[in-house]
Amino acid sequence: MIWRKDEAETASGEHMAPPARERKDKQMAENGEVTIVGAGARLEGNVVSAGSLRIDGQVKGQINADGDVTLSPQSQVEADIRAQNVSVAGRFNGNIVVKDRAHLAKGGRIDGNITSKTLVVEEGGVFHGQSIMDAGTSSGSRSSGQAGSSSTGSAGTETKDPDHVKV
């Protein structure tokens, strides 16, 4: 469900606040719309969102969003994601390419490669793959990233070959 300010008012003109979950979704979209793949949904194919996207169910394929992509703790996603920012709290298998920030929450798992300006791995998150820290410079140069697998969110540092990640 997408809440708009005018929909949150009752017929008598009183302001009725949306539930906390919807308020968070609205903040995530920053005045845009949020597409939600519900907990009981299974989707296969290409998902394209002009705004932000929250996945509570299962998705297999490609995900492209102009806004942020959030994978909730119960989500199971096998896809390649391109977005502004990504937050993973569920299980994810595939490649992530974001313009800004990739976030792996406690209890989340990423099996795949991440290209981002910023990577945050919380304690209790598991990351197995390569991270390419792309500062977005016009020359397209990339710095060394992090790789490893950890149940505590830490990762070892080693030099990576950028040819292993499709951009």
Task: Tell me if 165 is assigned to some domain.
Answer: no
Residues in the chain: 167
Task: Tell me if 158 is assigned to some domain.
Answer: no
| pLDDT higher than 50, residue 20 | no
Task: Tell me if 111 is assigned to some domain.
Answer: yes
The CA distances from residue 102 to 41, 88, 134, in Å, are 24, 8, 12
Tell me the mean pLDDT in the region 74-86. 97
| pLDDT higher than 50, residue 104 | yes
Tell me the mean pLDDT in the region 98-109. 98
Task: Tell me if 34 is assigned to some domain.
Answer: yes
Task: Tell me if 99 is assigned to some domain.
Answer: yes
Q: Which residues pair with 91 in a beta bridge?
A: 76, 109
Looking at every residue in the chain, the average pLDDT score rounds to 75
What is the count of structural domains for the chain? 1
130 contacts 143 by C-beta, under 8 angstroms: no
Task: Tell me if 66 is assigned to some domain.
Answer: yes
Task: Tell me if 88 is assigned to some domain.
Answer: yes
Task: Tell me if 69 is assigned to some domain.
Answer: yes
Give the per-residue pLDDT at 91: 98
**Residue 120 token pair:** 């945050």
Question: What confidence tier does 146 reach under pLDDT thresholds 50, 70, 90?
Answer: very low
| pLDDT higher than 90, residue 7 | no
- Residue 9 DSSP code: B
Give the residue numbers spanning the domain of 104.
Answer: 5-128
